[in-house]
Amino acid sequence: MLRYLGGRLVQAVVIVAIVATITFALIHLAPGDPFSAVMDNPNVNERVRTTLRAQYGLDRPLPEQFVRYVGQLARGELGWSFSHDRPVREVLASALPNTLLLMAIALAGSFALGILIALVQVARRGSATDHALSAISLVFFSMPDFWLAILALLAFTYWLPLFPVGGAVDPVMHDYMGFGARIADRLRHLLLPALTLTVLAAPGVARYQRAALLDVLPADYIRTARLKGLTEREILRRHALRNALLPIISLLGLSFPALLTGAFFIEKIFAWPGMGLAVVNAIGTRDYPLVVGGVILGSIMVTVGSLLADLLYAWADPRLRAR
Amino acid sequence: MPGQTQDFALANPARPRESPLALSVRRLLRGRSSRVALIVLGIIVLVGLLAPFIAPYDPSAQPDIVALKDLAPSLAHPFGTDPYSRDVLSRVIYGARLSLLIGVLATIVSLTLGVAYGAIAGYAGGWVDAVMMRLLDAFLSIPRLLLLIGVLVAWPRLSIGALVLFLGFTGWFGLSRIVRGQVLALKHAEFVMAARALGASRRRILLRHLLPNLVSPIVVAATLGVAHVIVLEAGLSYLGIGVPQPQASWGNIIQDGADQVATLWWMSLFPGLFMVLTVMTLNILGEALRDAYERRS
């Protein structure tokens, strides 16, 4: 078990190192440098440009720049964000909790909803309900994240104004509210983005879990349970679902990239102040350091997520635990 | 009953044994949903191919930027017009052409890379395989959209050809893992040993003996891959770093109306519907192909 953990940890570190190398290559293969987009225009003094480039070491040979870059990354330095006029690390750090909150709610919600749908489908396999739920899952599974978010915004803030248009809090009134009203205000703003991300992620879970459940149903212990006289419901809940839990944990690790990219679009469309919104807005302002910082942080999040899922798997699977 | 088909094939030398792919396709066409999906996809492809003959207007013409802009759907403009007075239906039709083309071309790029990488890793084995697979793990842990954002922001004003290449370069990781697994499993199969005993070169074994056995998983990955690229390209175009104006793609039509979603709802709704329909049919077909293939093996 310890050896497995150690190996997995080393692997995660190697992955992050390779990601850092790839992003470094990205930065330096591109035409110009991080300053080109904002600095290379006649309004900026030539001396300012050369000084700034020298300050950031952009005039040094590449290997030296690489060593510096890795050193900075190791200390958590991600460079300077032009559009925010603050270190990239601070911009991302202040936005990250909002993104994590959104992702956590959507993760919990989509797994609960997805597993529930799968259970209903398997309990009535082959019925009209099963087919209808499969079809609905497929429709939502095929929807681009940003399109569903736009439709949700259109439907539930403009046509049927149930929710506020965007942001995390009411821009004017929030500061004048009492404590309870502030929390209610935050929840009201959180609900629609979180629900949208949940609905986007749930079909994948449902489809995967339905297949996992159908995989265990032919097993001998299910037949034994049936012969013992257990009802179909009990068989599903106590035998099938338990054995189909391991695939759920695998799926947990696999679902982070999709959840993160979903969050990017959803934050943009609902103006939810997370790292997705920060990075997407940085595209418009050509704030390259912030974009690259977002790519690195996103990759680290995915790596850590799949590491955690693997650990959970090792803990949950008695066969692995014994090793 | 596999034994019977075998006998049948032997008894009828005139009728060559059906290839695994042909068998899968025939099984696929038996399902009702996959038949419908194939027809719908066929229509969308046809619309894309015949775009110049079907589109009622020039997709990038701006006839009257004052009087004809932001028109709601009507008989003259069934999908309305955009803020530049361009006809949205014509743009959606041309968008089908471009989105499908990008999807197919990028998928060809990633298939080539994925098969080559996976086959080499699987066939080489040992430490070469181990290193190649760890590298793949790293690639897989960078979310594809983020990686593309990083690349595309660094190279502003990319041509569509370059966009296709980048979409292809970032799409082969999953497939190469499947290919590697298959090659690893088949490497010691008797027919490969027989070929080796007869003195076949490595290249010949890979191309003539292993690759034909990989056709089914590759076709499945290609079908689902096209769907994925279409969604990705739309997302990137929506963010303003995909297909450049004035070319129309489903994503950048939606982006044109993104600032005024509430008033210009037709600009997000219609291209999105076409996109969902395309992606859905591709998903149905990909999965039906996979089912057909897995039932056989």
pLDDT in tens, A228-255: 777 777 777 777 777 777 888 888 888 8
Residues 6+ positions from B197 with CB-CB distance below 8 Å: none
- Asked whether residue A74 carries a pLDDT value surpassing 90, the answer given is no
Q: Which of B135, B141, B261 is opposite residue A302, by nearest beta carbon? A: B141
Q: Which of B135, B146, B234 is opposite residue A298, by nearest beta carbon? A: B146
Mean pLDDT confidence for A47-59: 70
Q: Which of B135, B262, B275 is opposite residue A147, by nearest beta carbon? A: B275
- How far is B192 from B182, CA to CA, in rounded Å? 13
Q: What is the mean pLDDT of chain A?
A: 81
Higher per-residue pLDDT: A72 or B15: A72
Whether residues A154 and B261 touch (CB distance < 8 A) is answered with: yes
- Asked whether residue B99 carries a pLDDT value surpassing 50, the answer given is yes
- How far is B21 from A63, CA to CA, in rounded Å? 50
Nearest to A63 by CA among A102, A5, A37, A24: A24
How would you write chain B as a 3-class SS string? CHHHHHHHHHHCCCCCCCCHHHHHHHHHHHCHHHHHHHHHHHHHHHHHHCHHHHCCCCCCCCCCCCCCCCCCCCCCCCCCECCCCCEHHHHHHHHHHHHHHHHHHHHHHHHHHHHHHHHHHHHHCHHHHHHHHHHHHHHHCCCHHHHHHHHHHHCCCCCHHHHHHHHHHCCCHHHHHHHHHHHHHHCCCHHHHHHHHCCCCHHHHHHHHHHHHHHHHHHHHHHHHHHHHHHHHHHHHHCCCCCCCCCCCHHHHHHHCHHHCCCCHHHHHHHHHHHHHHHHHHHHHHHHHHHHHHHHC
Whether residues A295 and B149 touch (CB distance < 8 A) is answered with: yes
* Distances from the Cα of A90 to the Cα of A72, A271, A278, A293, A294, angstroms: 15, 19, 11, 11, 12
B143 and chain A in contact, CB less than 8 A: yes
What pLDDT is attached to residue B8? 45
* Distances from the Cα of A23 to the Cα of A20, A66, A71, A295, B147, angstroms: 5, 11, 14, 8, 9
| Per-residue pLDDT band at B15 (split at 50, 70, 90) | low
Question: Residues of A numbered 229-258 whose beta carbons fall under 8 angstroms of chain B's beta carbons: which are they?
Answer: 257
* Predicted structure pTM score: 0.85
Q: Check if the beta carbon of residue B153 is closer than 8 Å to that of residue A286.
A: yes
Whether residues A18 and B135 touch (CB distance < 8 A) is answered with: yes
- Asked whether residue B207 carries a pLDDT value surpassing 50, the answer given is yes
Q: Which of A14, A268, A291 is opposite residue B153, by nearest beta carbon? A: A291
What pLDDT is attached to residue A286? 77
Mean pLDDT confidence for B253-264: 79
**Highest-pLDDT range among A17-26, A128-137, B4-13, B201-210:** A128-137
- Asked whether residue A312 carries a pLDDT value surpassing 50, the answer given is yes
Question: Residues of A numbered 145-204 whose beta carbons fall under 8 angstroms of chain B's beta carbons: which are they?
Answer: 145-147, 150-151, 153-154, 158
**Highest-pLDDT range among A70-84, A94-108, A182-196, B81-95:** A94-108
Residue with tokens 């070169």: B201
- Asked whether residue B10 carries a pLDDT value surpassing 70, the answer given is no
What pLDDT is attached to residue B276? 92
CB neighbours (10 Å) of residue A46? 8
pLDDT tens figures, A152-185: 888 888 787 777 777 777 766 667 777 777 777 7
What pLDDT is attached to residue B6? 45
Q: Which of B227, B261, B280 is opposite residue A150, by nearest beta carbon? A: B261
pLDDT tens figures, B23-71: 767 777 777 788 888 889 999 999 888 878 887 877 777 777 777 777 7
What pLDDT is attached to residue A211? 85
pLDDT tens figures, A103-151: 999 999 999 999 899 888 888 888 888 888 988 988 898 899 899 999 8
CB neighbours (10 Å) of residue B80? 21
Phi first, then psi, for residue A81 (nearest 5°) are -90, 120
Higher per-residue pLDDT: A237 or B191: B191
Q: Check if the beta carbon of residue B96 is closer than 8 Å to that of residue B47.
A: yes
CB neighbours (10 Å) of residue B192? 19
**Highest-pLDDT range among A92-96, B8-12, B149-153:** A92-96
How many angstroms separate the CA of residue A295 from the nearest CA in chain B?
A: 5
B157 HSE (CA, 13 A, CB side): 2
What pLDDT is attached to residue B1? 40
pLDDT tens figures, B270-286: 888 999 999 999 998 88
Q: What is the mean pLDDT of chain B?
A: 81
Burial group, residue B252, by CB count within 10 angstroms (0-12, 13-18, 19+): buried
On chain A, the residues whose CB falls within 8 A of the CB of B173 are none
What pLDDT is attached to residue B11? 46
CB neighbours (10 Å) of residue B66? 6
CB neighbours (10 Å) of residue B11? 9
* Packing angle, helices B88-124 and B160-169, rounded to 10: 40
Whether residues B143 and A303 touch (CB distance < 8 A) is answered with: no
Tokens of B168: 């292809």
